[in-house]
Amino acid sequence: MYENELIIEAIDRTRKSGRKSALATVVSVGGSAYRREGAKMLVDEEDNMIGMISGGCLESDVAEVAKSVIKSGTPILKTYDLDEDLVWGLGLGCPGTVKIYIEPVEPEAI
Amino acid sequence: MLELSPFEAWLRSFKEEEECVLATILPINQIQTEKEPGRLFISKGNIIIGDLGDDEINLRVKEIALRKLNETNPKSETRTFTLPGGIEIHVFIDVYIPPSELMIFGAGHDAMPVAKYAVSLGFKTTVVDQREFYNSEERFPSTNRLIAKTSEFQEKVKIGQRTYIVVMNHHIERDQETLKFVLRSPSPYIGVLGPRSRRVRMLKALEEDGIYFEKEELERMYSPIGLDIGAVSPEEIALSILAEVVAKKNGYTGGFLQDSKYIHKSPETKELV
């Protein structure tokens, strides 16, 4: 809830400043992922990141994808299939399948 | 509002704190061919903007959205629909519900951690107390403060369906007067500080004044207040109270997660290992 407000404020600020950005939203979750459907993160073209879409496992990868989305202007859906054994092996604490929709957010037209 | 795009209408709803849904067709094959996704915005006030590309699907998504907006604790989710040509589309239905409110009656010392935790949890927090000296910005930063006597509640205090209430006046008559008002409100949760015997005494005194409450009204009254964590200090008590409020808000009953099979399933579907 509180988080929603932070994201919206960030979208607003980023659009007004003329910076391009991409909004990542968790749209589907299977297994015991940390964040649920609707969790959001905003990444702008200067790599500022606001919000959380996992417990810290996916953020940096999603930020990379966000860069390409900002460049292409085309939304994509990214699926992370985090096999439990594999993930625990890597020492990451985010098992489960997570789908993340990443869409470009254009600056406000002046 | 109608000339806005669905995305912009959605942003606007956050600012106006209006319940709404933004439905988006997801690009299943990684890359979407069109830059603008099919989108439909539906507000609780029945403003509808956008198009998912098929009238029947627009209608069904609108129905789902309005149903969710009337639930106490709706969840965002992805749904699958089949277009007339047999093609499946996945639509993410994102529900926005404005922040809940926590209203504290009584600006005593032990209300301070309650207000502080409520603010940090994202509740719009209001402290109601007639004593200006106690009910101050210094003591209750980032809250709304209402300086009101119990006799002024009717005109000054607004309680909605998402206003969670904590009554902690440390003053039995004032608590009683507060109960008279809040138990008639649409609030889903009314927690009252103090032991069970105090609750019984207050309700009895109110009955003697000819004030009776319905079973449904009393079912929302939680007294003693809080989850059973053995809280002693004001901070621990505040934690116990807020834990109960959050559980209630999310439709859960509290308790330990140990040995429960799922973390996120609702209590009805939660199984033990």
In this predicted model, what pLDDT tens digit does every residue of B92-103 receive, in sequence order?
999 999 889 999
* Residue A95 pLDDT grade (very low, low, confident, very high; cuts 50, 70, 90): low
Distance separating the N- and C-terminal Cα atoms of chain A:
30
Contact A37 B78 (CB under 8 A): yes
Q: Is the pLDDT of residue A1 over 70?
A: no
Contact A25 B77 (CB under 8 A): no
Q: Residue A101: closest CA among chain B residues belongs to which residue?
A: B26
Distance separating the N- and C-terminal Cα atoms of chain B:
50
Phi, psi values for residue A12, rounded to 5°: -60, -50
How many whole angstroms separate alpha carbon B155 and alpha carbon B191?
Answer: 22
DSSP state of B101: E
pLDDT computed for residue B268 by the predictor: 54
Can you give the three-state secondary structure of A6-53, one letter per residue?
HHHHHHHHHHHHCCCEEEEEEEEEECCCCCCCCCEEEEECCCCEEECC
User: How many other CB atoms are found less than 10 A from the CB of residue B106?
Assistant: 23
pLDDT computed for residue B1 by the predictor: 64
CA distance A90 to chain B (A): 23
pLDDT computed for residue B30 by the predictor: 47
Residues in chain A: 110
pLDDT computed for residue B2 by the predictor: 66
How many whole angstroms separate alpha carbon B113 and alpha carbon B234?
Answer: 7
The average pLDDT across B155-169 equals 95
Contact B94, B50 (CB under 8 A): no
A-interface mutation test, from B5, B25, B35, most A Cβ less than 10 A away:
B35
pLDDT computed for residue A93 by the predictor: 53
Q: Is the pLDDT of residue B104 over 50?
A: yes
Contact A38 B76 (CB under 8 A): yes
Q: Is the pLDDT of residue B158 over 50?
A: yes
Judging contacts by C-beta atoms under 8 Å, the chain B residues touching residue A70 are none
Q: Is the pLDDT of residue A73 over 50?
A: yes
Residues in chain B: 273
How many whole angstroms separate alpha carbon A13 and alpha carbon A105?
Answer: 12
- Which one, of B217, B137, B90, B149, lies nearest residue A79 by Cα? B90
The average pLDDT across A36-40 equals 92
How many whole angstroms separate alpha carbon B70 and alpha carbon B45?
Answer: 12
A-interface mutation test, from B92, B95, B245, most A Cβ less than 10 A away:
B92
Contact B26 A77 (CB under 8 A): yes
Q: Residue B250: closest CA among chain A residues belongs to which residue?
A: A1
User: pLDDT tens digits for B213-263?
Assistant: 999 999 999 999 999 999 999 999 999 999 999 999 988 999 898 887 777
- Comparison of pLDDT for A34 and B79, the residue scoring more: B79
pLDDT computed for residue B68 by the predictor: 94
Judging contacts by C-beta atoms under 8 Å, the chain B residues touching residue A101 are 24, 26, 92
* Residue B271 pLDDT grade (very low, low, confident, very high; cuts 50, 70, 90): very low
Predicted model pTM: 0.78
List residues of B whose CB lies inside 8 A of any A CB. Answer: 7, 11, 14-15, 24, 26-28, 30-32, 35, 37, 75-78, 92, 94-100, 121-122, 262-264
Contact A1 B94 (CB under 8 A): no
Q: How many A-B residue pairs are in contact by the CB < 8 A criterion?
A: 69
Task: Report in angstroms the alpha-carbon separations of B22 from A1, B28, B87, B91, B245.
Answer: 16, 18, 22, 10, 28
Q: Is the pLDDT of residue B112 over 70?
A: yes
A52 in reach of chain B (CB within 8 A):
no
Contact B24 A3 (CB under 8 A): no
pLDDT computed for residue B41 by the predictor: 97
Q: Is the pLDDT of residue B272 over 50?
A: no
User: Which of the residue ranges A1-5, A39-43, A79-83, B265-269 has the most confident prediction, judged by mean pLDDT?
Assistant: A39-43
Contact B241, B226 (CB under 8 A): yes
Contact B96 A4 (CB under 8 A): yes
pLDDT computed for residue A52 by the predictor: 87
- Comparison of pLDDT for A35 and B198, the residue scoring more: B198
The average pLDDT across A38-53 equals 92
Q: What is the ipTM of this complex?
A: 0.88
Contact A8 B97 (CB under 8 A): no
Share of chain B above pLDDT 90, in %: 77
Contact A27 B75 (CB under 8 A): no
A-interface mutation test, from B29, B75, B78, most A Cβ less than 10 A away:
B78
* Residue A80 pLDDT grade (very low, low, confident, very high; cuts 50, 70, 90): confident
Phi, psi values for residue B138, rounded to 5°: -60, -40
Task: Report in angstroms the alpha-carbon separations of B115 from A79, B103, B242.
Answer: 40, 9, 9
Judging contacts by C-beta atoms under 8 Å, the chain B residues touching residue A75 are 27, 32, 35, 37
- Comparison of pLDDT for B230 and A4, the residue scoring more: B230
Q: Is it true that the peptide bond before B113 is cis, omega within 30 degrees of 0?
A: no
Contact A3, A94 (CB under 8 A): no
Share of chain B above pLDDT 70, in %: 92
User: pLDDT tens digits for B5-44?
Assistant: 999 999 999 988 899 999 999 998 644 455 567 999 999 9
User: How many other CB atoms are found less than 10 A from the CB of residue B63?
Assistant: 11
Supply B238's token pair.
């505040």
* Residue A36 pLDDT grade (very low, low, confident, very high; cuts 50, 70, 90): confident
The average pLDDT across A1-8 equals 80
